[in-house]
Amino acid sequence: MKPSTIGFEVPEDFPTQGYEKINAAMAPQKEALPQKWSEFTGAWNSVRIKFRALAQNDEIYTASIERSRGGASSFEERYNQEYALFNFFVVEDSLFESLFYGLYVIASTKNPAAFPITLQQIENVNPKMVQEKFHKYFKNEPITKYLEGILTSNEHKELKKIRNTLIHRTMPSRTIHLSTERAIPDIWMIRNIPTDEQLTASRRIWCSKVVSKLIDLMNDFILK
C-alpha cells in the first residue's frame, strides 16, 4: 500500500499521482458548481475505493489458490476463492463505470449542454453512452479513441460476460483434474478459465494499465 494525499492508502499499482492531479484540477468546481463537484467527488472516491477492493480480492484469491496447490480445495478454501472471484469481477466492472461517470462530469465542465448534470440525465450515464458522446463532441481528442478501445477490447468483453454470469445466473462449477505427477489447475466453467494464480493477477495487471492510461488521458483532456 502507498499513502494518498487525500487520506486513503491505495495499492502500489494505483496511479496516485495522475488521480490526484485530476482531483486538484476539479477542485475549483466545489465553490463554482457544487452539484458537479458533488457528483465528481462521489465518482472519484469510488474509483480509489474500488481499485483497493479489486487488489484485496486478487490477493485473497491468489493466497487461497497457493494454499490449495497440489490437492483439491477444502470447502472453506473453495468458499474463499468463490467469494474473492465474485467480488473481483463485480468490482472491476463497477470501477470502470465510476471512471466513465467521473469523465462524464469532467466533460460537463467543457460542454454543459451535451453533458448535463440533471437527475434524469445522470441516471442514464453508462460507459457506452459516455464513449458515444465523446465520439460526437470530442471526436479528435486522444481520449475518445482510447475509450472505444477499452469497450471493444477482448478483456473488457470477457469482464462483462463474467460479471453478468456471476450477478445474474450462477457461481460456475469447475472441472477438476487430478494428477500424481504435477498440480493441474481446475477449469472454471465460465469461458474455460484455469483457476490458477494468474486468474485474477493477470486481469489486475490489465486493469491497472488501462486505468493508468485512461487517467493520463483524462489529465490531458481536463487541462486543455
- Residues with Cβ < 8 Å from 208, sequence gap 6 or more? 13, 14, 15
**In terms of residues, how long is the chain?**
224
Domain total in the chain: 1
Q: Is 106 within the bounds of a domain?
A: yes
Of all helices (H) and strands (E), which one includes residue 15?
Answer: none
Partners of residue 2 on adjacent β-strands: 10
Q: Which three cell numbers stand for residue 74?
A: 477444502
In a domain, 5, yes or no: no
Rounded to two decimals, the pTM is 0.92
Instruction: Please report, in tens digits, the pLDDT of each residue of the chain (224 residues total).
Output: 765 556 678 999 999 999 999 999 999 988 888 889 999 999 999 999 999 999 999 999 999 998 887 555 688 888 999 999 999 999 999 999 999 999 999 999 999 999 999 888 889 999 999 999 999 999 999 999 999 999 999 999 999 999 999 999 988 888 876 654 556 788 998 889 998 999 999 999 999 999 999 999 999 999 87
In a domain, 48, yes or no: yes
**The one-letter amino acid at 188:** W
- Does the residue 4 lie in any domain? no
Whether residue 45 is contained in a domain is answered as yes
Cα distance between residue 85 and residue 77, in whole Å: 12
Which is nearest to 122 in space by CA: 193, 35, 60, 219? 35
Indicate whether 1 belongs to any domain.
Answer: no
